[in-house]
Amino acid sequence: MLVLSLLSTFVSFVMVLCGLWSFVSNYKHLLSVLLSLEFIMLGIFWVMVICLTQVGLEAYFILFFLTMAACEGALGLSLLISVVRTHGNDCFGSFSILQC
């Protein structure tokens, strides 16, 4: 049982690191940035689930974190829709500094 929990903790840390690598390397489009942020949030959520269930704490904090992650995703998608409607695409290179 201990080996399984250590393996799942390692996999969740790899998820977070892969999300960070994707966030740093694929910054040309807003959609790829938002997807990598969601992947990081899922990795952190999995780390929290593993750690808090081993300790035996209540699941309310995990549910609160999951609610905040869903709100962050909805806010990011609404920002993506707004940017695509105003600028025509989600490429960061097409944004002008002179536009408001």
Which residues span the domain enclosing 68? Answer: 2-94
Q: 49 or 26, which is more confident? A: 49
Mean of all residue pLDDT scores within the chain: 84
Per 3-state DSSP, the chain is made up of helix, strand and coil in percentages (nearest 5) of 80, 0, 15
Number of domains present in the structure of the chain: 1
Q: What is the pTM of this model?
A: 0.80
Mean pLDDT within 62-87: 88
Instruction: Say yes or no to pLDDT of 5 above 90.
Output: no
Residue 75 lies in a domain: yes
| CATH value at residue 8 | 1.10.287.3510
Share of the chain above pLDDT 90, in %: 12
2-27 in b/e burial notation, b at 16+ Cβ within 10 A? eeeeeeeeeebeebbeebeebbeeee
Residue 100 is predicted with a pLDDT of: 55
Residue 28 lies in a domain: yes
Residue 17 is predicted with a pLDDT of: 92
